[in-house]
Amino acid sequence: MGALLALLDPVQPTRAPDCGGILTPLGLSYLAEVSKPHAEVVLRQDLMAQRASDLFLGSMEPSRNRITSVKVADLWLSVIPEAGLRLGIEVELRVAPLHAVPMPVRISIRADLHVDMGPDGNLQLLTSACRPTVQAQSTREAESKSSRSILDKVVDVDKLCLDVSKLLLFPNEQLMSLTALFPVTPNCQLQYLPLAAPVFSKQGIALSLQTTFQVAGAVVPVPVSPVPFSMPELASTSTSHLILALSEHFYTSLYFTLERAGAFNMTIPSMLTTATLAQKITQVGSLYHEDLPITLSAALRSSPRVVLEEGRAALKLFLTVHIGAGSPDFQSFLSVSADVTAGLQLSVSDTRMMISTAVIEDAELSLAASNVGLVRAALLEELFLAPVCQQVPAWMDDVLREGVHLPHLSHFTYTDVNVVVHKDYVLVPCKLKLRSTMA
């Protein structure tokens, strides 16, 4: 009965984070700074908009007052621990009554924001509370009363909170871009999915993500990590805007998916021919009556594994190399097990993690199957170790030549990046930069 129920209720994929990031208070300040021009455009459009009938607040008479300028003097964001964010906007207006000197006006907006996860899995920034105040910058009591009367006609205080909601449209669009499907190879993609709303603390805003991988549009069920991943504690003195963390399981899942996509089925050229090889392995000569080039065809016999240690990243490959001749009818006469450990070099370009194979740290060859008799391990290494060590890193580098997209917002890039390899995870502290097309 239990087995039957298991068939009727298919196993749901395990939801566990394998990467994430922390937006630091400095990063939050940068986002506030680059948001000022956008906020000014939105507020200017709304505050200076004239209705077709040139009426304000439903009045049946044309207004004798008008707003001549709108400037966002300050915009800031701060974390409310365990709750969300506080947004502060200081707006300077100039209101020109008919036949009078323009009057300076100050609008202060305070809004509490929180982040929810929608039913589609996307994060959404919402307003919890909004408190706008409008003040005429006049020192005389009579002028102040007159100014208040004018302000009541030209500034709709309640509408300012609707303007705050409009300001959130752009950041919400950016939050949606976080979960976009990114290409890795032509038939392999990855997607970062938030597991819950972010956590707000004095340290910043922490978000845990789970990476899903697809091959030809189908989700690949990657092995479950034996060790749950959680965001590491960060130094309070960090000067970075954002600190990304990627677990060892993330990298292993990436290579597991590439294996499933067939990206590591490789053909390795060799300088050997059947005639030269027959001088070392005599039975090869009886298989071929003409001299043919030797070809090595390699494929993974078990899943690759990434190992992260302090200051070092390595990829372990477990290959079966079939050695044979003939084109297009390749026929193998020898199979070799090749266990290769390659050092990985990690860097970041724009918002992509670049992964290159720095050096082969270790390689072992052993006989797996043979149609030409027993071949000693020492002879296998003499004949085939060099092409395997030369060509396997080049093949791997070509597969990931475009890099791997990191979690990012579409209109921002990463600068001042540092990649630090720790035991079980990689930290990527960086600064944010608004792309020039959006400045």
Q: Domain range for residue 347?
A: 184-422
- Three-class SS state of 124: strand
pLDDT in tens, 150-182: 555 666 777 888 888 989 999 999 999 999 999
Give the Å distances, CA to CA, from 230 to 142, 242, 249.
61, 16, 12
As to burial, measured by CB atoms within 10 angstroms (0-12 exposed, 13-18 middle, 19+ buried), residue 241 is: buried
Q: Give the other-Cβ count within 10 Å of 38's Cβ.
A: 17
Whether 288 maps to a domain, the answer reads yes
Instruction: Identify whether residues 188 and 172 lie together within a single domain.
Output: no
| Domain boundary residue, one of 178, 213, 236 | 178
What count of other Cβ atoms lies within 10 Å of the Cβ of residue 42?
A: 18
Task: Provide the token pair at 3.
Answer: 């087995």
For 45, residues 6+ apart whose C-beta sits below 8 A from its C-beta are none
Give DSSP secondary structure letters for 326-388. -SSS-EEEEEEEEEEEEEEEEEEETTEEEEEEEEEEEEEEEEEEESS----HHHHHHHHHHHH
**CA neighbor of 297 nearest in space, from 271, 272, 266:** 266
pLDDT in tens, 127-137: 999 998 887 76
Does residue 243 fall inside a structural domain? yes
Q: Does the CA dihedral 210-215-219-225 come out positive or negative?
A: negative
| Rounded-to-integer distance, Cα 22 and Cα 209, Å | 11
Inside any domain, residue 11: no
The CB density around residue 250, as the number of other CB atoms within 10 Å, is: 25
* The model's pTM: 0.86
Model pLDDT for residues 40-88, shown as the tens digit of each residue: 998 888 887 743 334 444 544 445 567 788 899 999 999 999 999 999 9
Q: Are residues 108 and 192 in the same domain?
A: no
**Residue where one domain finishes, among candidates 162, 178, 194:** 178
Whether the per-residue pLDDT at 16 is higher than 90: the answer is no
Does the pLDDT at position 250 exceed 80? yes
Q: Residues 312, 275: one domain?
A: yes
Per-residue pLDDT averaged across 325-340, rounded?
Answer: 90
CA separation for the pair 260, 264 (Å, rounded): 9
Whether residue 4 is predicted with pLDDT greater than 50 in this model: the reply is no
In a domain, 232, yes or no: yes
pLDDT value, residue 8: 35
| Least confidently predicted of 195-199, 328-332, 422-426 | 328-332
Task: Please give the backbone phi and psi of residue 425, each rounded to the nearest 5 degrees, phi first.
Answer: -160, 165
| Exposed / middle / buried, residue 48 (Cβ in 10 Å: 0-12, 13-18, 19+) | middle
Output the domain CATH number for residue 77: 3.15.10
- Mark whether 122 and 215 lie in a shared domain: no
The token duo for 412 is: 């921002």
Residue 366: is its pLDDT beyond 50? yes
Question: Domain containing 244 — which CATH number?
Answer: 3.15.20.10
Number of domains in the chain: 2
| Residue 439 included in any domain | no
